[in-house]
Structure 1
Amino acid sequence: MLNIEHLTVEVDGKRILNDVNLHIGEGETHALFGPNGSGKTSLLFTIAGVPKYRVKSGKILFKGKDITDAPMDERAKLGIGIMFQHPPVLRGVKLMDMVKISMERLREKKVSDEEVKELAKKLNLEGFLSRDVNLGFSGGEIKRSELLQLLAQRPDLVLLDEPDSGVDLVNIGLVGNTINELLQKDRKTVHRTKSGLIITHFGNILDYVKADKAYVMMKGTVLCQGNPVELLEDIRHHGYSECLACLSR
């Protein structure tokens, strides 16, 4: 599904990713750990094609196609969707219209307001459809709004930037269930066609969404990979000190 080969990226002339290698197979869900400022979000933005993230060397392959220089809208059409940690407020754009446009592009036919409301019920957002996207939303409401848009889009590769951040205990299960739906976790592994890359700082979302593999990123480099539960347990007990020691060596 996704292959990243020796990826080096700069923003405004400053190197932020250095020789990153990563492979996510079809139907796989991977998690990315790392302290603040380690390059996790920069990696997601680069995969999604955010313009200011300039690839200096390396490649990004999606479904076998080289998308290293492809614009953001082309990547979205190919099936890459992203949940931002801090998405913008879209004044003058109703959540109803945003979701409807995504659903119509997917289905290639007109979608009724009732169909949008039915989808919004899954995230308890029926009452938000008439509001401007993210305007006055709480942190948890923004997360659910982003997930609603992804449900409408149904991307093949789901990029999730800290989906558990700012979500209260009442809604974390709802968020987890929605991510599981996006990633087809109700299907047997061999029948899944959707893949995901989840950034998580504390790992709480992994109590609800099973990941197949995890990575630790520090100073713009992927240092190690392994079992998500074991890596998270080590981080919770020892912090990132052992990772720093590996980096210094």
Structure 2
Amino acid sequence: MLSIEHLTVEVDDKRILNDVNMFIGEGETHALFGPNGSGKSSLLFTMAGVPKYKVKSGKITFKGKDITDAPMDERAKMGIGILFQHPPVLRGVKLNDMVKVSMEQLNHKKVSDQDVAELARKLNLENFLSRDVNLGFSGGEIKRSELLQLLAQRPDLVLLDEPDSGVDLVNIGLVGNTINELLQKDKKTVHRSKSGLIITHFGNILDYVKADKAYVMMKGTVLCQGNPVELLDDIRHRGYSECLSCLNR
């Protein structure tokens, strides 16, 4: 579904990603580990098409089409959705209206407020629909708001930037279940058409969402890849120091 080949990216003439390679097949869920400042979020922003992330070399292919220079809205229409770690507050835009627009674009028909409320109920957000998007929301409420918008959008590729950060123990299971729904985890692997890339610093979300493959990124480079459980276990026991030693060889 998505292929990244020798991707090098700059922001304000500063290199932040260097020769990144990655392939996510249809129906697969991948995880991306790395310390703060390693380039994980920058990779997701580049994949989503955020304008300030300038591709200097390499290629991004989605559904067989080269999207390296495609604008953000075109990528969204093709089926790429993103959960930002720190999304903006949208003053004057009600959460109900935001979700309704996405549902109508997906279903190609008018959607009622009741339809929106039923979807919001899955994330315990019925009482937030009349509020401006993310205004005055807690960290966990913002995550659920972002997930609600993704449920309305139903993207083919879900990019999740630290979906477990700021989420309390009461709601982490709810967040995990919603991600599983987005990624069609109720279906057998061969019948899934949705794919995902999950950035996680501590790996807590992987107790709820099973990943097929994982990568470790440091200093803008993917150092290794492998079994998510084994890589996360190594990181939890040894930290990233061993990965850093590989980078310096």
TM-score for the superposition, normalised by structure 2? 1.00
Counterpart of 1:17 in structure 2 is 17
Give the distance between the partners of 1:133 and 1:139, measured in 2 at CA.
13
| Deviation for aligned residue 1:75 | 0.1
Counterpart of 2:38 in structure 1 is 38
Report Cα offsets for 1:7-51 as digits up to 9, x if no partner: 000000000000000000000000000000000000000000000
Report Cα offsets for 1:165-223 as digits up to 9, x if no partner: 00000000000000000000000000000000000000000000000000000000000
Counterpart of 1:173 in structure 2 is 173
SS at match of 2:92: strand
Give the distance between the partners of 2:80 and 2:190, measured in 1 at CA.
21
Counterpart of 2:4 in structure 1 is 4
Unaligned runs of 5+ in 2: none
CA RMSD, 1 decimal:
0.2
Counterpart of 2:81 in structure 1 is 81
SS at match of 1:159: strand
Give the distance between the partners of 2:10 and 2:2, measured in 1 at CA.
21
Counterpart of 1:248 in structure 2 is 248
Counterpart of 2:184 in structure 1 is 184
Counterpart of 2:219 in structure 1 is 219
Unaligned runs of 5+ in 1: none
Give the distance between the partners of 1:226 and 1:237, measured in 2 at CA.
17
| Deviation for aligned residue 1:155 | 0.1
| Deviation for aligned residue 1:144 | 0.0
TM-score for the superposition, normalised by structure 1? 1.00
Counterpart of 1:103 in structure 2 is 103
Query: Match of 1:47, as an amino acid?
Result: M
Query: Match of 1:13, as an amino acid?
Result: D
Give the distance between the partners of 1:228 and 1:179, measured in 2 at CA.
17
Q: Does 1:203 pair with 2:203?
A: yes
Report Cα offsets for 1:223-242 as digits up to 9, x if no partner: 00000000000000000011
Counterpart of 2:231 in structure 1 is 231
| Deviation for aligned residue 1:243 | 0.3
Matched length: 249
Give the distance between the partners of 2:167 and 2:28, measured in 1 at CA.
24
| Deviation for aligned residue 1:108 | 0.5
Percent of aligned positions that are identical? 90
Query: Match of 1:90, as an amino acid?
Result: L
Give the distance between the partners of 2:244 and 2:96, measured in 1 at CA.
46
| Deviation for aligned residue 1:116 | 0.2
SS at match of 2:19: strand
Counterpart of 1:159 in structure 2 is 159
Give the distance between the partners of 2:244 and 2:112, measured in 1 at CA.
53
Give the distance between the partners of 2:124 and 2:52, measured in 1 at CA.
35
